[in-house]
Amino acid sequence: MFKALSSARLTALPTRIYAYRALSVSAASNAAKNQFIVIARDYQDPEALTRRLNVRPKHLVDARELKKSGKLQIGGALLSDHSAEGKMIGSIMIFNAENAEEVRQLVEKDYYVTGKVWEHYQILPFRSADLS
């Protein structure tokens, strides 16, 4: 290992190192916003899964737009378990917003609410840990 290093050509580094972290436009504009977790539970009637699958394409189009805008950080299905028989029983999302009311308005417009997929949801204040 040391032989390879000693034969390698080394370039002098500058004496000052500046911390730099590039932010996307959406990340920079949402850096000061608050985070909220939304836990949404599906209806459990026999037609619930059919309704979910019917509106899912529209739901995902809107979710991708919210992600691009920086308002939605991450989202996904809540499962009954990880087995092959596991069912989607809800959703979990993390939003970046000024307040819980802004999140509520976004959720109320979601196809999973208007399409009777989510029976109820909860909005909780959240702060992600800096793991860098």
CATH number at residue 119: 3.30.70.1060
Is 20 part of any domain?
no
Is 106 part of any domain?
yes
Is 2 part of any domain?
no
Distance CA 40, CA 122 (A): 6
**How many structural domains are present in the chain?**
1
pLDDT digits (tens, 9 = 90+) for 75-127: 999 999 999 888 999 999 999 999 999 999 999 999 999 999 999 999 999 99
Tokens 């991450």, residue located: 74
What integer best gives the mean pLDDT of the chain? Answer: 84
Q: Rg of the chain's alpha carbons, rounded to an integer?
A: 22
What is the percent of the chain where pLDDT is above 90? 72
pLDDT at 131 over 90: yes
Is 57 part of any domain?
yes
Distance CA 67, CA 64 (A): 5
Is 7 part of any domain?
no
Domain residues for the domain of 116 are 32-126
Is 102 part of any domain?
yes
What are the DSSP E strand ranges found in the chain?
Answer: 34-42, 72-79, 88-97, 118-126
Q: How much is the pLDDT for 85?
A: 86
